[in-house]
Structure 1
Amino acid sequence: MKILVVGAGATGGYFGALLARAGRDVTFLVRPGRAETLRTRGLRITGKGTEDWAPLTPQLVVAEDLSEPYDVIILAVKATTLDETVKTLRPAVGPTTMIVPFLNGLAHLDRLAAEFGTDAVLGGTVKVVTKLTPEGDIQRMAPVSELTFGEPSGGLSDRVTALHDTLSVPGIDAIASADVLEAMWSKWAFIVTIGALTCLGRGTVGEVVAVPGGDHLGPALLAEAAAVASASGHPVPEPDLATTTTVVTTPGSPLVPSLYRDLVEGRATEAEHLLGDLTARARELGVATPLLDLATLHLRVHEGRMGERG
């Protein structure tokens, strides 16, 4: 399969590098500045367990040079760039192309289906702990490396089985799911909970937990998110609820999500895609989410300031 990885950042670059190291036919769609960095330094993965990994010389393409369809498009971008990405991808999508988006939330499925057709779009989630260094390298901070994907309509199709064979390479735990929407709702509940917790508390998980009442905020936010998932027909599995509860109540935890980092560093956030969409669904379903509504309002004020700055 010919694979196009959209973006060579912390997530797409990491998984794309693992696929390329295993001999898969991988091309990275990148911006000109990122392309120059990768041509100069190569695609480098650092962190524990990667000491003997040589820099990868990746196959690169920029938007204006896209001219033919790919078998698989792995979409690992932020929701804030989704509309721009959709326009860019048109020459790369053919009648049998599988688009596998690894964005949090669900709104992107409808956006991609509206542009490329329902049959072209799979669902997916990703679990990885990586970040981009100032030099442009990708630093792995934990060994977790999981891709879950499947048909949004459910079941295991032949193409999902074939994709599983392609993505099953050393270093990637590839999971072909018969109920990918459950996995997506579970990840969404987790991301919204930790995002709202840190953005409202303006600190790491550990800093929020350390103050009086802070240890109750995470579970309360999770209860609201889980209630929306249940009302939507995709309840979060109990083991996932237990894991998320532990994550958001761990004393001393330095954990913060990208949503928080974007907020405190004055960048545009995925607030509408993550919290705005979830709370809108809650209203339609008659589910009360007062804490998530407050977090959404908090982030919308930030976005309003961003808009005023141009």
Structure 2
Amino acid sequence: MGETQGRSGAPRIVVAGAGSIGCFVGGLFARSGQDVTLLLRAGTAEEITQNGLTLTDFGALDAALAPDRFAMSTDPACLAAADIVLVTVKSGATEEMAAQIAAHAPAEAVVVSLQNGVENAALLQEMLPGWDVRAGMVPFNVVWVGGGRFHRGTSGDIIIESGQGHVGRQLNVPDLHVHEHGDIAAVQWGKLLINLNNALNALSGLPLREQIGDRDWRRLMAAQMAEALAVLQAADVAFQNPVAKVPMELVPRILRLPTWVFRLVAKTMLLIDPNARSSMWEDLEKGRGTEIDELQGKIVRLARQANVAAPINAGLAEMIREVEVLGAGAPNLTAQEVQSRLRTLDAPADGEV
């Protein structure tokens, strides 16, 4: 396959399911002059039509785009014009989006999953046999502030699966770097390990930087990550750190360090917007279902297959599901309250797992 491109010479990109991540990356593509269509919900389209699209981050990014800089549609028929389809829906909507792609997009389009978890690309491939489907990893989080503003609170480069053509190069634009990788599965598993903190952050209600600066929360982070690492090792699953050169196996030890030492050793972990929170926190605040089944839930399922225990991840998954049912937003618990609740669920809670 050669470079994918439309009549203008640039690839025609459709962001399928444009929410927080989709509107942010789609907006950066549009700012760079790419041919972009956002496939989104009617309410999102109305908000952006009225306010335009504003993209900010904790660095110097502050870009305002008028709605005429890109196309928007609520009709999946817009997929018919796609050279590249970027899937950015929540995991639970992957099957529905795959069906829409199959019905409307050209079979030669490249489909890239920019979703959390490790199973979405496989589901897309299953439902789109013969298509060029690639997994991807987005390391940063984006908060939908409202009024057409989308704010990136953490850093990192997008990584997509290697393949024919130069898809990564075509998606690489200012303020959004995209690289291709030959072992995307290991990268995704590494990202999943990092994303396990989404649940703890959602339970805390704290900004990520404040949470990570608290040793009690870091001990909980370390405990669940160490448990998950043991599960992956028992299941013979390869993983690698997608955002730093530090081996994932060392991260729990770093998290357990006294705070003054941690701040010296882990400076890159603290390069976070002071107000940034996890996407799972945002889901709870907005009364949406979370991706807990694709994070802690995946570790628990893998643990069963490998015949090992994962009580901390199971306990945290149960706590998030309870909060989802209540529908009252993030519970703003302390680390000690989470520890106490884990004890009632028979999960170790001393942070020394």
State the TM-score, normalized to the length of structure 2: 0.73
Q: What is the rounded CA distance, in whole Å, between the counterparts of 1:204 and 1:46 in structure 2?
A: 17
Return 225-234 or 276-285, whichever deviates more. 225-234
Partner of 2:346: none
Q: Is 1:270 the equivalent of 2:282?
A: no
Please, which runs of 5 or more residues in structure 1 have no aligned partner? 151-155
CA offset at residue 208 of structure 1? 8.3
Partner of 1:72: 84
2:224 to 206, 209, 221: 221
CA offset at residue 81 of structure 1? 2.9
The structure-2 alpha-carbon separation of the partners of 1:17 and 1:218, relative to structure 1 and needing over 3 Å to count, comes to same
Q: Is 1:182 the equivalent of 2:189?
A: no
Partner of 1:153: none
Q: What is the rounded CA distance, in whole Å, between the counterparts of 1:54 and 1:195 in structure 2?
A: 30
Please, which runs of 5 or more residues in structure 2 have no aligned partner? 1-10, 264-269, 328-353
2:246 to 230, 239, 242: 239
1:96 partner SS: coil
Q: Is the 8 A contact 1:276 1:296 kept in 2?
A: yes
- For each residue in 1:173-231, what CA deviation from the matched residue of structure 2 results, as whole angstroms up to 9, or x when unmatched? 21100111111000011101x124335656556458748x5442111111122223333
Return 162-171 or 247-256, whichever deviates more. 247-256
Q: Is the 8 A contact 2:55 2:151 kept in 1?
A: yes
Q: Is 1:83 the equivalent of 2:102?
A: no
Q: Is the 8 A contact 1:145 1:171 kept in 2?
A: no
Q: Is the 8 A contact 2:83 2:109 kept in 1?
A: yes
Q: What is the rounded CA distance, in whole Å, between the counterparts of 1:113 and 1:216 in structure 2?
A: 38
The structure-2 alpha-carbon separation of the partners of 1:293 and 1:118, relative to structure 1 and needing over 3 Å to count, comes to farther
Q: What is the rounded CA distance, in whole Å, between the counterparts of 2:195 and 2:176 in structure 1?
A: 21
Partner of 1:195: 198
The structure-2 alpha-carbon separation of the partners of 1:27 and 1:271, relative to structure 1 and needing over 3 Å to count, comes to same
The structure-2 alpha-carbon separation of the partners of 1:79 and 1:244, relative to structure 1 and needing over 3 Å to count, comes to farther
2:26 to 13, 16, 20: 16
1:285 to 306, 310, 316: 306
Q: Is 1:115 the equivalent of 2:111?
A: no
- For each residue in 1:3-26, what CA deviation from the matched residue of structure 2 results, as whole angstroms up to 9, or x when unmatched? 111233321111112212222221
CA offset at residue 278 of structure 1? 2.3
What is the total number of aligned residue pairs between the two structures?
A: 296
Q: Is 1:2 the equivalent of 2:8?
A: no
Q: CA-atom RMSD, angstroms?
A: 3.0
Letter of the 1:218 counterpart: M
Letter of the 1:300 counterpart: R
State the TM-score, normalized to the length of structure 1: 0.82
CA offset at residue 124 of structure 1? 0.5
Identity of aligned residues (%): 23
Q: Is 1:133 the equivalent of 2:145?
A: yes
Q: Is 1:147 the equivalent of 2:158?
A: yes
CA offset at residue 33 of structure 1? 2.0
The structure-2 alpha-carbon separation of the partners of 1:92 and 1:52, relative to structure 1 and needing over 3 Å to count, comes to same
- For each residue in 1:35-69, what CA deviation from the matched residue of structure 2 results, as whole angstroms up to 9, or x when unmatched? 22222322222345234655453211222543625
Q: What is the rounded CA distance, in whole Å, between the counterparts of 1:36 and 1:2 in structure 2?
A: 23
Q: What is the rounded CA distance, in whole Å, between the counterparts of 1:208 and 1:147 in structure 2?
A: 23
Q: What is the rounded CA distance, in whole Å, between the counterparts of 1:190 and 1:100 in structure 2?
A: 21
